[in-house]
Amino acid sequence: MSRRSRSLLSLVLLQLLLALQFWQPAPASAATLEEVRAITATAKDNILVLNDKNFPKYVEEPRDYSLIIIFSVHSNAFKCEPCERFESEYRLVTSSWEKMGNPNELVFAYVDFGDGRHSFGKMSITSAPAGLYLPPTLGPNASKADPIGYDFNRHGLIAEQFAEFVRKVNGIEMTIYRPIDWVKRGITAAVIITSLVAFKLMFKHILVVIRSVRAWSSLTLVIILMMTSGFMWNQIRHPPYMGGSASHPEYIAPGFQTQFGVETQIMAVLYAACAFATVSLVTRVPKIRDGMTQRVVAFVWLLVLVVGYSLIMMTFRKKNGSYPFKLLF
């Protein structure tokens, strides 16, 4: 080979290498709404399944349709329980949308992490499940706005809540068509019938309880003890059951503005002991005929009352060191 031929060959190879270095595959052509509708018409629950291969085609601009994409994980290695719970709710949303006749250009899509790792990265998805709304970029509703995310932590995994999200971003009022749960309705009907039959058979005994002064007074006393012990405060604030650590547990929270769950139980027992001792001293002890027995029982209930009340005041001092009163402790 001549020197000139070698020079020309070297030049051609150099140009070829440069071309290969800067060559990029042509982007896939964007799909149209008609094409996507043809695919989802045969798909399960009218959902467009995405992966790393077809994600650019159906998500890239320009698009004459809007997208709602759910990013989920179904690998056993991750065990995403919220993903599994939301899948059935999401299919309920898409099937309800299909029953409404697909009112506008909205398309529901789904991508699993196992098939769309790069798609997760493109949309900056770092947790699952995640939902995004992408507006169309062509047509009368075209928009260049950023994707709108659905907050699962705030709104939950229920189809009705997600349908409200669809209404806000898309402007179409959705109706969720839940299938009738005949098993649940059958159980409910059986419970109602059984309760009515039991009420009919036990009506006389129930009437005795309803008319009983002792039953109502006992119920009232229980409610008073619960409320004075801080039960309602716990229901509103949801405090921890106890404080401290496993080696040094704390049962009484310092300060009058907070308390532990176990503290309510402790105070309820102390209040109940004092109340029961007082009631027994007034109603039971006078009916004891034997004088010696009456005195012993009276001293016992009096001791319970004094010790219980002393523990209550000791608890108050533990919550606030400036509490000035004490009895035995």
* Percent of the chain's residues with pLDDT above 70: 91
Write down the pLDDT at residue 24.
42
Single out the residue of 254, 91, 294 nearest to residue 176, CA to CA.
91
- Could you tell me the pLDDT band of residue 93, with boundaries at 50, 70 and 90? very high
Q: How many CB atoms lie within 10 A of CB 63?
A: 23
142 three-state secondary structure? coil
Question: Where do the domains of the chain lie, and which CATH numbers do they carry?
Answer: 33-170 (3.40.30.10), 212-319 (no CATH)
**CA 280, CA 282: separation in Å to the nearest integer?**
5
The model carries a pTM of 0.53
DSSP annotation of 56 reads: H
Residue 212 pLDDT exceeds 80: yes
| Average pLDDT of the residues in 77-95 | 88
Q: Which band of pLDDT confidence, cut at 50, 70 and 90, is reported for residue 26? A: very low
pLDDT (tens digit, 9 = 90+) per residue, 9-23?
Answer: 554 444 544 444 444
Model pLDDT, residue 110: 94
Residue 29 pLDDT level (bands cut at 50, 70, 90):
low
Report, as an integer, the average pLDDT of 75-97.
87
For residue 7, is pLDDT > 70? no
SS3 track for 1-45: CCHHHHHHHHHHHHHHHHHHHHCCCCCCCCCCHHHHHHHHHCCHH
For residues 94-118, one letter each, b for 16 or more C-beta atoms within 10 angstroms of the residue's C-beta and e for the rest, the string is bbbbbeeebeebbbbbbbbbebbee
| Mean pLDDT of all residues in 227-236 | 88
pLDDT at res. 245: 76
pLDDT band, residue 79 (cuts 50/70/90): confident
pLDDT of 319 reads: 85
pLDDT of 154 reads 87
% residues pLDDT > 90 (the chain): 34
Extract the runs of DSSP E, i.e. beta strands, from the chain.
48-50, 66-72, 106-112, 130-134, 148-150, 243-244, 249-250
Half-sphere exposure of 268 (CA within 13 A, CB side): 17
Model pLDDT, residue 18: 43
Tell me: pLDDT of 119 over 70.
yes
The CA dihedral of 117, 120, 126, 130, to the nearest 10 degrees, is -120
Looking at residues 73-83, what average pLDDT do you find? Answer: 82
pLDDT computed for residue 92 by the predictor = 92
Confidence tier at 171 by pLDDT (50, 70, 90): confident
Query: Which pairs count as long-range contacts for 20-28, CB under 8 Å and 24+ apart, including other chains?
Result: 27/56, 27/60, 28/54, 28/56, 28/57, 28/60
Tens digits of per-residue pLDDT, 266-293?
A: 999 999 999 999 989 998 899 999 989 9
